[in-house]
Amino acid sequence: MSTMKKKIKISIQGASGYTGGELIRLLLNHPLCEIVSVSSNFNSGKKISDIHNDLVGDSDLIFSKEIDKNVDVIYLCSGHGKSSAFLKSTKIDKEVRIIDLSQDFRVDNLFEDRVFEYGLPEINKSNILNSNNIANPGCFATAIQLGVLPLISANSNSKEIHTHAITGSTGAGLKLTQTSHFSWRNNNVSWYKPFTHQHLNEVYKTIEKKYNINFIPIRGNFSRGIFCTSYIKTDLDIDFIYKIYFDYYKDHPFTVVSNEEIHLKQVINTNKCLIHLKKVEGKILITSIIDNLIKGASGQAIQNMNLMFGLDETTGLKLKSSIF
């Protein structure tokens, strides 16, 4: 474990959205980080607290058009398709570490002379420790993979996985659309992109398409969180399956397997993934839940940074859930 005293200098590109705002909040409270600059095309010149109102009194940072590139880490938070465009137009020293929160490098992980490591610590920690560039996983992909990977690693006898996951409105991003508007979301539920959601691409890269995932994403009428249920046919005994999961995650502090049923409020405002298992008539039901903005985005990005710099991966991420 590192005993470093010098603070990690950080710039955040595209910091006015949900993930950028969450990243700022977490990094301001990280004991070994200093945010040097934050950028926003539309809010340049404004205080970050003008946009992220909960930060009044916490920071005097001002949004700029361009970020300071003379830092240790650059977080890219501008959204899908924009990270690759930014890197094409911006010269960044090879020694500067990049953590991308878009989907640009999750599947095709090469960009010019940079190799982006897939940043799911529970399966890729050893590679992350030695990487300079991270492709942060998608929120659905995180919840699905953490739920099913231990079982399929034990060679479950079924190649079909059925998954439903309901997500809060923040998963759709800050830009207002009809289906993220309060009057549409309130008292409403709907599916979207059935069987074709883009996060499946990174899941299939992990499992090498040995399984078929029948995934139905669902829009929920709440702000944040993902409640994911997957079921797989298996002949394995429930006690043996629990042992598989406990062993799989024993060295991963943020993924916790619970013998008791779980609910979404247990993970909101935390970097945790909670998992529960139930066996019914030859099927195993796997429930995996995360906060889509933290373990599904900004918190996991900081977890990856901690590993890259040799810190305890929980540094700055020991957060309490908003249970009430």
Name residue 35's beta-bridge partners: 10
Residues ≥6 apart with Cβ < 8 Å to 19: 77, 101, 293, 297, 298
Count of alpha carbons within 13 angstroms of residue 170, beta-carbon side: 20
Contact in structure between 103 and 114 (CB atoms under 8 Å): no
Q: What does the DSSP assignment read for 164-208?
A: EEEE-GGGG-SS--GGGSHHHHTT--EE-STTT-TTHHHHHHHHT
Count Cβ neighbours within 10 Å for each residue of 255-281 and write b for 16 or more, e otherwise: bbbeeeebebebbbbbbbbbbbbeeee
Question: Dihedral, CA atoms, 46, 306, 136, 84, nearest 10 degrees?
Answer: 60
Residue type for 323, please?
I
Catalytic site residue from 77, 139, 228, 273:
139
Residue owning tokens 């095309």: 41
Name residue 160's beta-bridge partners: 212
Can you list the positions of beta strands (E) in 20-121? Answer: 33-39, 63-64, 73-76, 97-100, 110-111, 114-115, 117-118
Residue type for 38, please?
V
Q: Establish whether 33 is a catalytic residue.
A: no
Residue owning tokens 């070994």: 32
**3-state SS assignment for residue 127:** helix
Distance (Å, whole) CA 119 – CA 105:
11
Can you list the positions of beta strands (E) in the chain? Answer: 8-13, 33-39, 63-64, 73-76, 97-100, 110-111, 114-115, 117-118, 133-135, 160-167, 190-191, 212-219, 226-233, 255-258, 273-280, 283-290
Q: Which residues are catalytic?
A: 139
